[in-house]
Amino acid sequence: MNKLILNFKSKNTKKIKNPKNLLGGKGANLSEMGRMGLPVPPGFTISTKVCDLFYQNKKRLNSSLINQIKKELKIIEKDVKKKFGDLKNPLLLSVRSGARVSMPGMMDTILNLGLNDKTVKALANKTSNGRFAKDSYRRFIQMYGNVVLGVESYHFEELIENYKLTKGVLLDTDLDEDDWDGLIKDFKNIVKEKTKKEFPQDVYKQLFGAISAVFLSWESNRAKIYRKLNQIPSEWGTAVNVQSMVFGNMGNDCATGVVFTRNPSDGSNDIYGEYLINAQGEDVVAGTRTPQYITKKAKREAKVEALSMEESMPKVYLELHKILKKLEVHYKDMQDVEFTVENEKLWILQTRSGKRTAKSAVKIAVDMVKEKLISKKQAILRIDPNSLDTLLHPTLDEKSSLEIIANGLPASPGAASGKVVFTSEEAERLNNMMQDVILVRVETSPEDIQGMHAAKGILTARGGNDKSCSCCCKRNGKTMCFWFE
């Protein structure tokens, strides 16, 4: 029973044969980074075994598990010198899913957990930043309300939009402490209206609700479809990572971002990614603010004005760069890393093997052999043979007469012809009858993935600003990336 929950720093993890099976990809990597001495916020992983137990126990956490979680929480409290639910110096947590293999965007995450009407005041006092505290609290209500309590996201977004309209401003960053205070009340009201219950103020109730929600998200429709398409067994289950929060939204010496150790679309050996100053993780993908490039080079190539991280935070950038190289040498593969800068201090939140296009997969594998990081055999095993299909795709015969009717962004290479369909169902139906179809959508969402799979090609009117992705899907205002490889 004692290996059900493991601290990131636990020495036991080293002895586990396949840590990813037990801790999930994210958890295994967090504990590995912890042991490498990288700056990882303290936390623990609730193993995939518990996911099993949870479903066996009528989708509830049993009391022994609850006690173990509380015990682990004490260790974090000691480590960061904060207390969960404390009225002076409250500890805030992130609760995130982590299956054996990464399933981007498929399962749930909750940030800023541990805030309530009282701790939010403590956080404001402690940081002398009332706006930050209120902003964090409203984000938490929004996420928890959506993920755990099942209140549709758009209800919250509508409230913010209407508020901004009334105030006559465009950006979230134009809203001040009092504005957020008002919105917090509105958010709690909408939760009460939709769930017939008050928003939970007991921080432990919040925590166990969030952990349960992450386990439940393993059986969500989204996750099931993703598993089916990627042949992931449902028995694997997910782990849950509980980690102390670090904040990228406490001021202009804070930032958050995602970065690949090499360019995922062409494979060149340059770090590549995006970051936002004074923001929290979801802002980078939410599209409410335009993220900036990490490197000067990428900024120059994209011909944008806004400063790259290399220019705005040179010292932190250098440290990040060093860590990225270290991670790549350690894992011997291109990594996709999430980080946060809190008052100029760099924290690494996650690392995983980075998704990439077929073209860059080949380049990276060959380059890593040249760099003596991997052997030729390893390079061969790195490439999914079926993914070569995209490189072998025929291109349009430019000699034939082309009647171009419109243009869009080139989002995933290759050419395809087929009958126009407007729904995933129709795409699937015709595909089953061995007909080629082009799925045409205003924008694609995770619900469309079966239709996207059935179609020979996809055409959308919106989306596609992230060049590192094969296909971008918007859901609840979030850009999600699907890789059809």
Partner 1 sequence: MGRPCVSGSSEIDIDYEKKIFKTASVEIKEGDVITIDGSSGRIILGSVPTVKPEISGDFSKLMSWADTIRKLKVRTNAETPLDTKVARDFGAEGIGLCRTEHMFFDEERIISVREMILSKTKEDRLKALKKLLPHQKKDFIDIFKIMHELPVTVRLLDPPLHEFLPKSEKEISEVAEVVGLSVKEVKSRIDELHEQNPMLGHRGCRLAISFPEIYEMQCEAIFKALSELKKNNQKFAFPEIMIPLVSTQAEIKIMKDLVINTARKVQKENKVKIKFLVGTMIELPRAAIKAKDISKHAEFFSFGTNDLTQTTFGISRDDSGKFLHDYIENKIFSIDPFISIDEGVEDLIKIAVTEGKKQNKKIKLGICGEHGGDPKSIYFCSKIGLNYVSCSPYRVPIARLAAAQAEINK
- Contact flag: residue 425 with partner 1 (CB under 8 A): no
User: Nearest Cα to 46, choosing from 73, 84, 85?
Assistant: 73
Q: Which is nearer to partner 1, 325 or 462 (CB)?
A: 462
Give the Cα separation of 214 and 339 in Å (integer): 22
- Nearer Cβ to partner 1 (74/376): 376
Does position 105 interact with partner 1 (CB under 8 A)? The reply is no
Q: Is 376 in the site for partner 1 (CB under 8 A)?
A: yes
From the CB of 460, what's the least distance to partner 1, in Å?
4
- The residue written with tokens 């801790």 in the block is 23
**Of 351, 348, 288, 26, whose CA–CA distance to 139 is shortest?**
288
Span of 91-99, 183-191, 216-224, 394-402 interacting with partner 1 by CB under 8 A: 394-402
Contact status: 232 vs partner 1 (CB under 8 A) = no
Amino acid at 211: I
Binding of residue 394 to partner 1 (CB under 8 A)? yes
Neighbour tally for 372: CB within 10 Å: 7
Q: Which stretch binds partner 1 (CB under 8 A): 77-85, 154-162, 240-248, 356-364?
A: 356-364
Q: Does 409 bind partner 1 (CB under 8 A)?
A: yes
The residue written with tokens 């045409």 in the block is 440
CB-nearer residue toward partner 1: 66 or 383:
383
Is 221 a residue that touches partner 1 (CB under 8 A)? no
Binding characters for partner 1, 254-273, by CB under 8 A (x = yes): -------------x------
Q: Which CB atom, from 63 or from 400, has the smaller least distance to partner 1?
A: 400
Residue 414's Cβ-side half-sphere holds a number of Cα atoms within 13 Å equal to: 21
**Residue 104 is a binding residue for partner 1 (CB under 8 A):** no
Which listed residue (418, 475, 478, 481) binds partner 1 by CB under 8 A?
418
For residue 302, state whether it binds partner 1 (rule: CB under 8 A).
no
Nearer to partner 1, 149 or 440 (CB): 440
Buried b / exposed e over 435-467, threshold 16 CB at 10 Å, is: eebbbbbeebbbebbbbbbbbbbbebeebbebb
- Total binding residues toward partner 1, as defined by CB under 8 A: 75
Q: In the complex, what is the shortest distance from the CB of residue 362 to partner 1, in angstroms, rounded to a whole number? A: 5
| Residue 413 contacts partner 1 per CB under 8 A | yes
Contact pick of 16, 149, 383, 481 for partner 1 (by CB under 8 A): 383
317, HSE (Cβ side, Cα atoms, 13 Å): 18
Pairwise CA distance, residues 161 & 90, whole Å: 30
Among 380, 425, 447, 476, binds partner 1 (CB under 8 A): 380
Residue (of 224, 295, 294) closest to 257 by Cα position: 294
Q: Is 442 in the site for partner 1 (CB under 8 A)?
A: yes
The region that residue 474 occupies, defined by phi over 0 for left and psi between -120 and 50 for alpha, beta otherwise, is beta
Question: Segment near partner 1 (CB under 8 A), from 91-99, 113-121, 321-329, 359-367?
Answer: 359-367
Angle, alpha carbons 8-11-16 (nearest 5°): 90
* Among residues 94, 335, 464, 480, the one that binds partner 1 under rule CB under 8 A: 464
Pick 39 or 414: Cβ nearer partner 1: 414
Nearer to partner 1, 213 or 458 (CB): 458
Is residue 230 a contact residue for partner 1 (CB under 8 A)?
no
d(CA 68, CA 74): 10
Would you say 310 or 367 has its CB closer to partner 1? Answer: 367
Question: Is 1 a binder of partner 1 (CB under 8 A)?
Answer: no
Q: Which of 465, 466, 401, 471 is nearest to 439 (CA)?
A: 471
Q: Are 257 and 275 in contact (CB under 8 A)?
A: yes
CB of 249 to partner 1, least distance (A): 29
Applying CB under 8 A, the span of 180-188, 252-260, 289-297, 430-438 interacting with partner 1 comes to: 430-438
Nearby residues of 61 by Cβ (< 8 Å), 6 or more positions away: 50, 54, 69, 208, 211, 212
Considering only 54-62, 94-102, 143-151, 437-445, which stretch makes contact with partner 1 by CB under 8 A?
Answer: 437-445
Q: Which of 365, 368, 374, 480 binds partner 1 (CB under 8 A)?
A: 365
Annotate 23-54 with b (16+ C-beta within 10 A) or e (fewer): bbbbbbbbbbbbeeebebbbbbbbbbbbbebb
- Give the containing element (helix H, strand E) for 46: strand 43-46
Quick one: which of 441, 468, 479, 480 contacts partner 1 (CB under 8 A)? 441
Please tell me whether residue 463 binds partner 1 under the rule CB under 8 A: yes
What's the chain's Rg over C-alpha atoms?
23
3-state secondary structure of 426: helix
Which one of 36-44, 287-295, 330-338, 363-371 is the stretch in contact with partner 1 (CB under 8 A)? 363-371
